[in-house]
């Protein structure tokens, strides 16, 4: 915990892009987590962070303030906003996209925000650490801190993650003896919970046996350590379109089922006239396997395990057009213009750092339609400018909110080559 200094009284101006209340003080922007615009607050300075304050109390609340629904809110760092009226929250989240694009000089229509929280998050990463007095802590990181907040329940999770927290605690108890901090990734699948534990290092045979017993007791579909199999009761499988995909250990999936479906529906609509599509940064195929119902697909990703799972699922699913998946690092070896000649459309969904190297090659190509999916509006804006400056027109952006209660927002945009 950071030491704190003197208290002060601040009137918050607005909520910033990270979800903090923002006010100008002594010529600089100051950030106050959990405060809303117009509120009068009592705050403490945070030593070592001159631009941050800790909220002590709200002296005069905004009429837009509501009661948070989670008892851990304000301590756990998982959610930034549960205390704001839903309509104002939705307007703020859309405005993040509008303002970031405007700042980058990109003028385009921004559609209404799509709420894609659905029934909740289907994957989580819990942290396990030994705290003071040798007390085990399993939970999420505290806001703006490396401290772990022990969690016994989380109301934003998909019901299919029921039992995940109990399983994480049970796995951490024997593993914490190795003396290393642990990260426990848990994904809800059609077959049950898929768990990958990282941070433990090599384990003795007796400890692996103990973990196998925990996995059996909690009826985990699969337990892996750094991707290495400890126990599999049944293969973890998820449905993507008409396909069933057997997940590699620690696989990336969109945070919610509703989020994946919303993004995929937008992508499909933007590609509906394309007969041959390249899906870049394809992962296990949330777009490719759905697009293959009507179009030929070439899919590329650096994750060889994901590519293998995608190819196998496509091969075993009847009624799909030809789909070829290839492992390729698109940061180091982007598809070049001559390799892109045969495609009617390209879809790309990169990690948070964006896809500058690949987009530069797309900009030099003659692809008629490019569909961008992004989880970072800032890197999206950078990549979008490359396409626009090369002659593409951006037809619009649709923001998608699958990370409800946080400042994170997804988006889908369509670019067309000027004729």
Taking the C-alpha atoms of residue 211 and residue 223, their distance in angstroms, rounded to an integer, is 8
SS3 417: strand
Distance of CA 303 to the CA centre of its chain: 17
Taking the C-alpha atoms of residue 156 and residue 139, their distance in angstroms, rounded to an integer, is 14
What residues are paired with 110 via a beta bridge? 397
What residues are paired with 24 via a beta bridge? 29
User: Residue 243 class from Cβ within 10 Å (0-12 exposed, 13-18 middle, 19+ buried)?
Assistant: buried
Residue of 76, 79, 282, 375 marked catalytic: 375
* Strands ordered across the beta sheet of 345-348: 114-115, 392-401, 410-417, 369-374, 345-348, 276-280, 296-301, 323-327
CA-to-CA dists, residue 101 to 292, 341, 383, angstroms: 32, 30, 11
Taking the C-alpha atoms of residue 398 and residue 114, their distance in angstroms, rounded to an integer, is 8
- Packing angle of the helix pair 205-217, 164-175 (nearest 10 deg): 160
**Among 151, 176, 148, 150, which residue's Cα sits nearest to residue 1?**
148
Q: Which residues contact 393 (CB under 8 A, 6 or more apart)?
A: 415, 416, 418
Catalytic residue status for 375: yes
Q: Known catalytic residues?
A: 375
């Amino acid at each position: 915990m950071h030491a704190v200094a003197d208290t002060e009284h601040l009137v918050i101006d607005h909520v910033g892009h990270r979800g903090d209340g923002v006010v100008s003080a002594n010529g600089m922007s100051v950030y106050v987590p959990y405060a809303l615009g117009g509120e009068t607050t009592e705050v403490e300075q945070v030593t070592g962070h001159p631009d941050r304050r800790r909220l002590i109390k709200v002296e005069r609340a905004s009429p837009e303030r509501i009661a948070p629904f989670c008892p851990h809110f304000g301590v756990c760092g998982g959610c930034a906003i549960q205390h704001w009226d839903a309509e104002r929250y939705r307007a703020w989240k859309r405005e993040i996209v509008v303002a970031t694009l405007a700042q980058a000089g990109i003028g385009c229509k921004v559609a209404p925000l799509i709420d894609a929280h659905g029934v909740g998050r289907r994957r989580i990463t819990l942290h396990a650490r030994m705290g003071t007095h040798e007390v085990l802590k399993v939970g999420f990181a505290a806001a703006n801190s490396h401290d772990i907040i022990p969690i016994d329940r989380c109301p934003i999770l998909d019901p299919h993650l029921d039992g995940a927290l109990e399983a994480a605690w049970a796995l951490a108890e024997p593993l914490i003896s190795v003396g290393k901090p642990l990260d426990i990734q848990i994904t809800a699948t059609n077959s049950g919970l898929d768990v990958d534990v990282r941070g433990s290092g090599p384990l003795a045979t007796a400890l692996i046996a103990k973990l196998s017993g925990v996995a059996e007791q909690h009826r985990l579909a699969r337990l892996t350590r750094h991707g290495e199999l400890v126990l599999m009761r049944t293969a973890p499988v998820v449905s993507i379109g008409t396909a069933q995909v057997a997940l590699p250990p620690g696989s990336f999936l969109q945070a919610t089922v509703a989020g994946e479906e919303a993004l995929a529906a937008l992508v499909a609509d933007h590609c509906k006239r394309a007969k041959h599509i390249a899906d870049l940064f394809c992962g296990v195929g949330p777009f490719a396997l759905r697009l293959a119902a009507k179009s030929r697909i070439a899919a590329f990703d650096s994750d060889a395990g994901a590519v293998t799972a995608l190819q196998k699922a496509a091969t075993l699913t009847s009624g799909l057009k030809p789909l070829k998946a290839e492992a390729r690092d698109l940061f180091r070896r982007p598809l070049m213009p001559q390799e892109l000649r045969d495609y009617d459309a390209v879809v790309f969904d990169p990690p948070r750092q964006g896809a500058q190297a690949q987009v530069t090659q797309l900009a030099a190509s003659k692809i008629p339609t490019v569909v961008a999916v992004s989880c970072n509006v800032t890197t999206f804006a950078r990549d979008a400018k490359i396409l626009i400056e090369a002659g593409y027109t951006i037809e619009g952006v649709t923001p998608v909110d699958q990370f409800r209660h946080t400042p994170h927002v997804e988006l889908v945009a369509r670019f067309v080559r000027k004729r």
